[in-house]
């Protein structure tokens, strides 16, 4: 990893929140430990005047209050959400942006109305191809002043389970998670789940705003269009075992049986298995995968008992999914430093 | 500021949480936006087996369950808490530790039993001079394996309003804030408010553990004892006005009247005033200080209307307290990079 992180990157790291990896112990991430990335500022929203506008290619456009949204049938989904930039700080050559190591993840129970249900109610008109979601957070990026906005193909909205969430883990959305209403798209990287939602527009052609055209694309050259980032690639992370050294975060473990545990997820297909290596990735053993008790869209727990012998060790874990995707051993570079799902490596000292 | 932040510092920045400064809009910081520093790992605590041990120089030592603590008379205090390392990343020469810029602060309503009440109940014996608070979080620091532990002079415990908090902002403590019980010491820097509390010991001589003897001291040479860090020095911070550029966090503001707002606090005395500079600290005007509606131990809001003229500006604010302390214009260096309360500087571009 590059040693130097710039002042600009530190400013981002100081305001965006990672999930400390020991929080993988909880199947549902406690509020305040879920990762959080805010492109611009967290807006202050007056719920008395806030409206959700539904417009564009709709037979019956709508302007809804929060009570209106709450009056629709509600669903609750446990969703593992991950930032498309998770792992960026491990990519070389160095990519300048939010410098995530591996903490940009979390699982929450989101409750709200289904997007598909609201669109059915409003009647999608002929010629619709995409649905655009616009937030209230405004800023400048790539020289363009903008409100954060991302679109989804209509087919993905109709076949998926996206919701407009007003509650998380049983409480009203806190400001930083998109109060009063946010989009949650299960299985997709977090940039899709627009916070502080103000408008849903049904479009007759693909949206080419900054966050679609420039950001969140896998590009190997600055000037190529690249491919859009969509679903979460498989990843597994472990709770770092033992106790940490404050500054280096290196781990001290007692000799003898040591239970390693972690979580694994994939937005592309069901997690099919997790392997653990205790020798830096030279050999691998299958971990015990727990049932997916939180449903299709959330991570699954796994366990592995390691017989820790005195000395220095590098622990790794890697997930594979039912579609045949498996985590690579080394990061792959792209212009934005996105979708680096290379295996986690945890250095451990076992005392003799 | 030093350009290069090391991998070790990034690891800390990625797991500890700052309060994005736009959250200064809220008088009580929403859960998940309060700053958070964890020396080691957030421990997982089974509240069924957890006990708070009260021992040492006590006439009636105690072992209490959480229900026992909850059965005592409860008080609720709004407290502004700040890390003693806040501002460290602005100190030069560079100090390697958690690289806080200015976000290591927050205000919460903490509810719990008073420490003084519990000590009275247990009967402090003759010869007691300090009270030691030990948490369940374990790690290695400065080569010493330790549980995080800090002491307070008995006189400060008796004259102060320290509480053993089991609720924050009306809900049970989340894991990262010390579940099931934490110490909250109003007016003191955050290192004093030990989380995941397991033991309170009344001592006949000062505690010289690592977090007292080595950390949290203002030292100008590595090998001098220095002076212990105690109460929070005055500081004021503003909500950065306008909208940000994603990467640089520079601010764009429209020309015309611009309401600046922020919060100010001091653990040493009452806040006596806040001044604002819109020319990088060359001239200062008095801001309008709001009443201290949250009580003695919480920050106070302030406002200032700035007539923003086109061009580049550097906005600053500085607080002073009734004891005569005022924020310096430039950071002062010490070995640990502590207690840097130099004025905030916000670069703003006003469009013509």
pLDDT interval class at A3 (50, 70, 90): low
User: What pLDDT does A1 receive?
Assistant: 43
Angstrom distance (rounded) from CA A53 to CA A69: 11
Nearest CA-CA distance, residue A137 and chain B, Å: 9
Of A25, A101, A177, the CB nearest to B14: A101
pLDDT by residue (tens digit) across A108-120? 999 999 999 999 9
Yes or no, beta carbons of B139 and A17 under 8 Å apart: no
Quickly state the pLDDT bin for A272 (edges 50, 70, 90).
very high
Contacts of A17 in chain B (CB under 8 A): 17, 32
Pick from B4, B44, B140: CB nearest A3: B4
What integer pLDDT is reported at residue B3 of this predicted model?
Answer: 62
**% pLDDT > 70, chain A:** 99
Give the DSSP H or E segment for B136. strand B130-141
Q: What is the pLDDT of residue A333?
A: 97
**Secondary structure (3-state) at A162:** coil
Q: Is the pLDDT of residue B216 over 70?
A: yes
Q: Quick one: tokens of A235? A: 């990843």
Tell me whether residues B247 and A12 touch, CB distance under 8 A: yes
pTM: 0.97
Q: Rounded to an integer, what distance in angstroms lies between the CA atom of residue B254 and that of residue B268?
A: 38
A13, A39, A96: residue with CB nearest B10: A13
DSSP string, B157-170: HHHS--EEEEEETT
Q: What is the four-CA torsion angle of A97, A98, A103, A106, rounded to 10 degrees?
A: -110
| pLDDT at residue A86, rounded to an integer | 98
Give me the domains of chain B, ranges plus CATH numbers.
7-228 (3.90.420.10), 235-350 (2.60.40.650)
Q: Which residues of A touch B21 (CB under 8 A)?
A: 15
Residue B2's pLDDT band (boundaries 50, 70, 90)? very low
CA-CA distance, A143 to A226, in Å (whole number)?
20
Q: Which residues contact A327 (CB under 8 A, 6 or more apart)?
A: A233, A234, A235, A236, A318, A319, A320, A341, A342, A343
User: Which of B11, B89, B240 is nearest residue A249 as measured by Cβ atoms?
Assistant: B11
Q: Does residue A161 register a pLDDT over 50?
A: yes
pLDDT of residue B352: 84
Instruction: Name the DSSP class of B232.
Output: P
In B, which residues are within 8 Å of A30 by CB distance? 174-176
Q: What is the per-residue pLDDT across B321-351, written as a single tens digit (0 to 9) for each? A: 999 999 999 999 999 999 999 999 999 999 9
d(C-alpha A271, C-alpha A235), whole Å:
9
Chain A residue numbers with beta carbons less than 8 Å from the beta carbon of B22 are: 41-42, 44
Q: Percent of chain B beyond pLDDT 70?
A: 99
Nearest of A216, A177, A187 to residue A37 by alpha carbon = A177
pLDDT value for A4? 82
> CA-CA distance, A147 to A165, in Å (whole number)?
20
- pLDDT value of position A2: 46
Residue of B7, B23, B196 for testing the chain A interface, max A β-carbons within 10 Å: B7
CB B133 within 8 A of CB B197: yes
Give the pLDDT of residue B1.
Answer: 43
> Strand, helix or coil at B270?
coil
Average pLDDT on B273-298 reads 96
How many CB atoms within 10 Å of residue A125?
A: 13
- On whether the CB atoms of residues B214 and B226 are closer than 8 A, the answer is no
DSSP string, B288-322: EEPP-TT-TTS-EEEEEEEEE-SEEEEEEEEEEET
Between chains, do A100 and B14 touch, taking CB under 8 Å as contact? yes
In this predicted structure, what is the pLDDT of residue B111?
Answer: 98
pLDDT, average across residues B282-299? 96
- Test B14 with A42 for CB contact under 8 angstroms: no
Rounded Cα distance, B329 and B318, in Å = 9
Answer whether residue B160 shows pLDDT above 90: no
Among candidates B3, B25, B32 on the partner chain, residue whose Cβ is nearest the Cβ of A4: B3
Mean of pLDDT values over B23-46: 97
Chain B residues whose CB is inside 8 A of the A174 CB are 30-33
CB contact under 8 A, A245 and B145: no
**Residue B116: closest CA among B54, B180, B30, B41:** B54
- Comparing alpha-carbon positions, the chain B residue that sits nearest to A15 is B20
């Amino acid at each position: 990893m590059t040693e130097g992180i710039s002042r600009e990157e530190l400013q981002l790291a100081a305001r965006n929140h990672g999930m400390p990896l020991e929080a993988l112990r909880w199947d549902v991430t406690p509020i305040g430990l879920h990762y959080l990335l805010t492109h611009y500022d967290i807006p202050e929203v007056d719920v008395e005047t806030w409206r959700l506008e539904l417009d564009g290619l709709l037979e019956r456009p709508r302007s809804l209050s929060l009570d209106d949204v709450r009056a629709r049938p509600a669903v609750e989904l446990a969703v593992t959400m991950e930032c498309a930039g998770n792992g960026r700080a491990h990519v070389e050559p160095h990519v300048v942006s939010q410098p995530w190591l591996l903490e940009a993840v979390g699982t929450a129970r989101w409750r709200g109305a289904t997007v598909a249900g609201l669109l059915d109610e409003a009647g999608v008109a002929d010629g619709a191809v995409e649905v655009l979601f616009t937030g209230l957070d405004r800023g400048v990026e790539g020289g363009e002043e903008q409100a954060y906005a991302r679109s989804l193909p209509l087919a993905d909205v109709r076949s998926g389970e996206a919701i407009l969430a007003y509650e998380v883990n049983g409480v009203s959305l806190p400001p930083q998670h998109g109060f009063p209403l946010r989009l949650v798209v299960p299985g997709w990287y977090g940039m899709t789940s627009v916070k502080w939602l103000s408008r849903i527009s049904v479009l007759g052609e693909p949206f080419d705003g900054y966050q679609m055209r420039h950001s969140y694309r896998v590009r190997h050259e600055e000037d190529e269009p690249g491919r859009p980032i969509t679903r979460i690639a498989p990843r597994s992370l472990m709770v770092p075992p033992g106790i940490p050294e404050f500054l280096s975060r290196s781990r001290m473990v007692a000799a003898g049986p040591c239970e390693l545990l972690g979580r694994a997820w994939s937005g592309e297909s069901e997690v099919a298995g997790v392997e653990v290596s205790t020798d830096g990735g030279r050999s691998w053993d299958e971990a015990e995968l727990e049932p997916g008790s939180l449903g299709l869209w959330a991570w699954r727990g796994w366990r592995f008992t390691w017989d820790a012998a005195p000395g220095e060790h590098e622990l790794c874990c890697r997930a594979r999914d039912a579609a045949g995707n498996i985590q690579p051993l080394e990061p792959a570079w792209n212009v934005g430093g996105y979708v680096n799902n290379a295996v986690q490596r945890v250095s451990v000292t076992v005392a003799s």
